[in-house]
């Protein structure tokens, strides 16, 4: 699972998205459970109709095979419809879970950036600060400085997201600046470097 710059920007710009997807996921789960309950209830109703010789068990209708339809035709068709609906909901459910996992990992990666970068990204994407506000807040950054922080911050989130670090490792390094060594293609925290220097 990899991510691109534009996706990170979108997630940062829509902090409400996680709750919306979570609500939709719960709704889908309830629909799946509802289908399973209806499937069982319908089976019971059909068997009951058959035993009571109600119109539901009539053999007057012609099935797709050219034979007269019976209870089992009805059950098969109904089961297929319910199963198709359930499978469709299950695919959507899995997609929502994947999105939630992406959003959570982006959030963890965001927390690994230095505090100034977090602050600038938060103001730009989540709080919707204008360029004027970004350049005239308490940080007193120039336009170029703001641009550099924003671009590098997004790139660092993408690198962390696509790295071999698992979420637990990233979470343990929360609020610790990540150091990238482009030549060696490695990522280290300041804590890692301090340990190396200590043992050297």
pLDDT at 130: 94
**170 shares its domain with 191:** yes
Task: Please calculate the CA angle 149-151-152 and round it to the nearest 5 degrees.
Answer: 65
Contact indicator for 26, 97 with CB cutoff of 8 Å: no
Q: Provide the domain limits for residue 162.
A: 114-200
pLDDT at 117: 94
How many structural domains is the chain composed of?
Answer: 2
**1 shares its domain with 98:** yes
**18 shares its domain with 105:** yes
**160 shares its domain with 171:** yes
**77 shares its domain with 146:** no
**78 shares its domain with 100:** yes
Return d(Cα 143, Cα 33) in angstroms, integer: 53
What DSSP string runs through the chain? ----HHHHHHHHH-TTHHHHHHHHHHHHHHHHHHHHHHHHHHHHHHHHHHHHT-GGG---SBPTTSSBP-HHHHHHHHHHHHHHHHHHHHHHHHHHHHHHHHHHHHHHHHHTS-HHHHHHHIIIIIS---HHHHHTSTT---HHHHHHHHHHHHHHHHHHHHSS--HHHHHHTTTSPEEEETTTTEEEEHHHHHHHHHH-
**1 shares its domain with 41:** yes
Residue given tokens 């030549």 in the structure block: 183
**104 shares its domain with 129:** no
Burial track 57-75 (b if 16+ CB lie within 10 A, e otherwise): beeeeeeeeeeebebebbb
Biggest alpha carbon–alpha carbon distance for the chain: 89
Domain boundary among 111, 142, 160: 111
Return d(Cα 22, Cα 97) in angstroms, integer: 8
Domain boundary among 111, 134, 169: 111
pLDDT at 72: 67
What CA dihedral angle connects 67, 70, 75 and 78, to 10 degrees?
Answer: 60
Domain boundary among 92, 111, 130: 111
**76 shares its domain with 126:** no
**84 shares its domain with 118:** no
pLDDT at 158: 96
Q: What is the pLDDT tens value at each position of the chain, 200 positions in all?
A: 789 999 999 999 999 999 999 999 999 889 888 887 776 776 666 666 656 554 544 445 444 554 445 666 777 777 788 888 889 999 999 999 999 999 999 999 999 999 999 999 999 999 999 999 998 887 788 999 999 999 999 999 999 999 988 888 888 776 555 554 444 444 554 444 444 443 33
User: Which residue from 94, 146, 91 is spatially nearest to 119, judged by alpha carbons?
Assistant: 146
């Amino acid at each position: 699972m990899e991510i691109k710059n534009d996706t990170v920007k979108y997630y940062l710009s829509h902090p409400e998205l996680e709750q919306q997807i979570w609500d939709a996921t719960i709704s889908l789960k309830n629909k799946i459970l509802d289908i399973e309950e209806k499937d069982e209830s319908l089976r019971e109703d059909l068997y009951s109709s058959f035993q009571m010789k109600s119109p539901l068990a009539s053999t007057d209708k012609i099935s797709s095979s050219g034979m007269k339809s019976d209870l089992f035709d009805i059950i098969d068709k109904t089961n297929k419809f319910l199963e198709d609906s359930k499978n469709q909901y299950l695919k959507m459910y899995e997609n929502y879970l994947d999105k939630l996992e992406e959003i959570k990992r982006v959030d963890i990666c965001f927390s690994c950036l230095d505090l100034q970068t977090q602050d600038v990204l938060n103001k730009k994407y989540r709080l919707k600060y204008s360029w004027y506000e970004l350049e005239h807040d308490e940080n007193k950054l120039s336009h170029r400085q703001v641009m550099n922080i924003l671009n590098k911050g997004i790139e660092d989130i993408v690198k962390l997201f696509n790295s071999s670090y698992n979420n637990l490792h990233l979470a343990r390094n929360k609020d610790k600046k990540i150091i990238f060594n482009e030549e060696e293609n490695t990522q280290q925290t300041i804590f890692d470097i301090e340990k190396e220097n200590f043992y050297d």
